[in-house]
Amino acid sequence: MDGQNKKAKILAATTPEEIDIAVMEAANLLRNGEVVALPTETVYGLAANALNPQAVEKIFKTKGRPSNNPLIVHISNLDMAKRCVKQWNNAAQRLADNFWPGPLTIVLPKSEIIPGIVTGGGDTVGIRYPAHTVIQLVIERCGFPLAAPSANISNRVSATTAAHVFKQLGDKIALIVDGGACRVGIESTVFDLTSNPPRVLRPGIIHEESINAVLSGLKIQIEKGLNQKTLRSPGLLKKHYSPLAKLICLQWQNENELKEKLAALGCKPSLTSILCFSDPPSKLGKVTMMPKQAVSYARAIYAELHNCDEAGARWIIVQTPPDSPEWRAIHDRLRRAAAE
Ligand code: AMP
Ligand code: MG
């Protein structure tokens, strides 16, 4: 953004009239090669014209994002998706039929129209059709796809409200469109159709088992679980999604056990926030009860991490969630938020 000390304008986009105005303003800026923060159903995105390398460069600069970390390209219809890739195939069609619009990114070989800066220099592109009216209308109005990573400073906790975006990027961008709190709350599942066998690169709310079920008729067997090679691929950094406070996952049977564990870790109760869903301690730290369902937990977790930072916590203790497929994406985010 030009000039110093300017703050982003936040435009509400709830009523049809507000949506009309916000979509028009956002599309005008995007057509001029600017970046705009937009709501999606996963997390807020920092969007730019995916076909304009100078515009895309502004995303990397604004976030402080390493250039080898590829961006997801957001589309608003299947024709647009097909123009972004070298070859559309049956598996992609099946996934699109079942999960789009929605929180699934499909990685395919990129077409000529996608500049290398979007893909971290690679020859594959991640495509997603988001399920949020506002970004869909903006893409339709622009007529070009939008490259959009999460709207946060690189490696920090993703934004799930316009206020979160404002706090991290308010003095770096001109416009934030406020489409309400994100319904999914964590980033999309990234599924790579270019590897053999195809595999999940980043777990999300659409899990491996659901993808397998949808592709099984095509006799496609996907690779089970994340492996070492996957974890080293660009963007899947060990440390990511990090709050300012130190995050530690713990299990406990009773308050005494938790007290001993906190003491051993050197956590001062007055500066400790505890996110739990059972056995809340009564005399230790600032306790927040989290939802017991994985889908609701995912919707809440980033906002709670933002709250803990806001409250000045030095330590965030997260009660370790259950170990079943629907919790896999949450374990992944917590593990990376806790990494040193
Ligand atoms: P973000 O937009 O910040 O949620 O990050 C997008 C993530 O999607 C990246 O960090 C990668 O992990 C993944 N991704 C996007 N495009 C590709 C691609 N072409 N190949 C592999 N992973 C990708
Ligand atoms: Mg991100």
Please tell me the total count of domains within the chain: 2
Pocket test for ligand 1, best of 71, 72, 191, 229 (most atoms within 8 A of CB): 72
Q: Which of 188, 203, 234 is the last residue of a domain?
A: 188
Atom of ligand 1 nearest to the CA of 110: 19
More confident of the two residues 199 and 238: 199
Same domain, 160 and 91: yes
Question: CA angle, 219 as apex, 217 and 224 as ends, to 5°?
Answer: 110
Atom of ligand 1 nearest to the CA of 187: 4
Write the DSSP symbol of residue 118: G
Which has the closest alpha carbon to 302: 334, 338, 274, 279? 334
Assess if residue 288 is contained within a domain. Answer: yes
Separation between Cα atoms, residue 33 and residue 8, nearest integer Å: 16
Domain range enclosing 17: 9-188
Separation between Cα atoms, residue 306 and residue 329, nearest integer Å: 19
Ligand nearest to the CA of 70: 1
Separation between Cα atoms, residue 165 and residue 173, nearest integer Å: 10
CA 115 → CA 84, 85, 123, 296, distances in Å?
10, 12, 10, 37
Assess if residue 205 is contained within a domain. Answer: no
Assess if residue 122 is contained within a domain. Answer: yes
3-state SS class at 116? helix
Q: Which of 139, 158, 188 is the last residue of a domain?
A: 188
Task: Report the pLDDT value the prediction gives residue 236, as an integer from 0 to 100.
Answer: 65
Give me ligand 1 centre to Cα 126, in Å.
Answer: 7
Same domain, 93 and 167: yes
Q: Is the predicted pLDDT of residue 151 greater than 90, yes or no?
A: yes
**CATH label of the domain that carries residue 251:** 3.40.50.11030
Question: CA angle, 239 as apex, 236 and 242 as ends, to 5°?
Answer: 115
Pocket test for ligand 1, best of 154, 189, 202 (most atoms within 8 A of CB): 202
Same domain, 17 and 103: yes
Assess if residue 144 is contained within a domain. Answer: yes
When pLDDT is averaged across residues 223-245 and rounded to a whole number, the result is 68
Same domain, 155 and 278: no
More confident of the two residues 224 and 110: 110
DSSP H or E run through 178: strand 175-178
Pocket of ligand 1 (CB under 6 A): 69-72, 107, 119, 122, 124-126, 149-150, 187, 190, 201-202, 233, 235-236
Buried/exposed 185-199: b ≥16 CB within 10 Å, e otherwise: bbbbbbbbbbbeebb
Which has the closest alpha carbon to 109: 88, 94, 95? 88
Same domain, 29 and 121: yes
Assess if residue 169 is contained within a domain. Answer: yes
Separation between Cα atoms, residue 43 and residue 131, nearest integer Å: 11
Q: Which of 188, 203, 238 is the last residue of a domain?
A: 188
Which has the closest alpha carbon to 70: 103, 107, 112, 34? 107
pLDDT (tens digit, 9 = 90+) per residue, 16-56?
Answer: 999 999 999 999 999 999 999 999 999 999 999 999 999 99
Task: Report the pLDDT value the prediction gives residue 226, as an integer from 0 to 100.
Answer: 65
Identity (one letter) of the amino acid at 268? K
**CATH label of the domain that carries residue 101:** 3.90.870.10
When pLDDT is averaged across residues 103-111 and rounded to a whole number, the result is 98
Q: Which residue has the tokens 């090669």?
A: 33
Same domain, 181 and 257: no
Could you tell me the pLDDT band of residue 235, with boundaries at 50, 70 and 90?
low
Identity (one letter) of the amino acid at 68? N
Terminal-residue alpha carbon distance, the chain: 32
Assess if residue 103 is contained within a domain. Answer: yes
Ligand nearest to the CA of 236: 1
Same domain, 175 and 261: no
Query: Could you tell me where the DSSP H helices lie in the chain?
Result: 16-31, 53-63, 78-84, 90-99, 133-142, 162-169, 208-215, 228-232, 255-265, 294-310, 328-338
Assess if residue 241 is contained within a domain. Answer: no
Task: Report the pLDDT value the prediction gives residue 241, as an integer from 0 to 100.
Answer: 81
Residue 223 dihedral angles phi and psi, to the nearest 5°: -70, 135
Q: Is the predicted pLDDT of residue 288 greater than 80, yes or no?
A: yes
pTM over 0.85: yes
Assess if residue 45 is contained within a domain. Answer: yes
